[in-house]
Amino acid sequence: MKCFDPTMYFITDSTAYSEAAFLSRVEAACQGGITLLQLREKTKTTREYLALAQKVQAITKRYGIPLIIDDRVDIALAIHAEGVHLGQSDLPVHTARRLMGRDAIIGATTKTVPQALEACEQGADYLGVGAIFPTTTKVKTVLTSVDTLKAIVQSVSVPVNAIGGLQKENIHVLKNSGIAGICVVSAIMKADDPCKAAQELKEAFDAQQKEDRTHHCRQ
């Protein structure tokens, strides 16, 4: 059985750091209570991506956090990572599923209801939807409204995470959206204290989830 907690999904960005500084931030995020980690590398060679993935995996394994590899099914297979995350420019979900088997966690980035339905038909285990806010990580990203996010949540049965410029100060816009978790890059990666940042974000999101449920019960 495939079991993962998408509540506090941290996506890495190593570009601004030495390898040692990067790995130390990854570990701090794990200590702070992230529940899922995606290694995302866009400019490394395959061998460099593989080497970094192995080092990150040594950390995530210690904390029992599933490691998701962005884009590269070959890297994920090579290190037996728990899963892969696929954007619209990556392998189709059904191809990744065929190569990785049913136990792999396969996620997809979707920005519209049709994309979300297609990803789920192909076997996606979760969806990332955004960008909710402008982000410095992806310069040319297209924004997704909270209304579209809600429409996607209502259209699919898999967990849906919001992504894009999310911080503890702005996640209130997601209240009652029905999302399963939040994905963040900068809010943890670039924080002065990534451990504390992860912890506070998780607490803020958990508190909001609780409020949503209470609100829902009152209705």
Least distance from a copy of itself to the Cβ atom of residue 117, Å:
19
Least distance from a copy of itself to the Cβ atom of residue 129, Å:
19
Which residue number, 51 or 146, has a Cβ lying nearer to a copy of itself?
A: 51
Least distance from a copy of itself to the Cβ atom of residue 112, Å:
17
DSSP character at residue 31: H
Least distance from a copy of itself to the Cβ atom of residue 32, Å:
31
23 Cβ contact partners less than 8 Å away, ≥ 6 residues apart: 55, 56, 59
3-state secondary structure of 134: coil
Which residue number, 77 or 151, has a Cβ lying nearer to a copy of itself?
A: 77
Which residue number, 72 or 202, has a Cβ lying nearer to a copy of itself?
A: 72
Which residue number, 74 or 118, has a Cβ lying nearer to a copy of itself?
A: 74
Closest-CA residue to 99 (of 88, 119, 110, 84): 84
Instruction: Output the CA–CA distances (angstroms, integers) from residue 152 to 82, 89, 186, in the order listed.
Output: 25, 20, 24
Which residue number, 51 or 180, has a Cβ lying nearer to a copy of itself?
A: 51
Q: Tokens for 191? A: 């924080």
List interacting residues with a copy of itself (CB under 8 A). 45-48, 50, 71-74, 77-78, 88-92, 95, 98-99
CA dihedral 176, 123, 118, 205 (to 10 degrees): 20
Least distance from a copy of itself to the Cβ atom of residue 132, Å:
24
181 vs 128: CA distance, rounded Å: 9
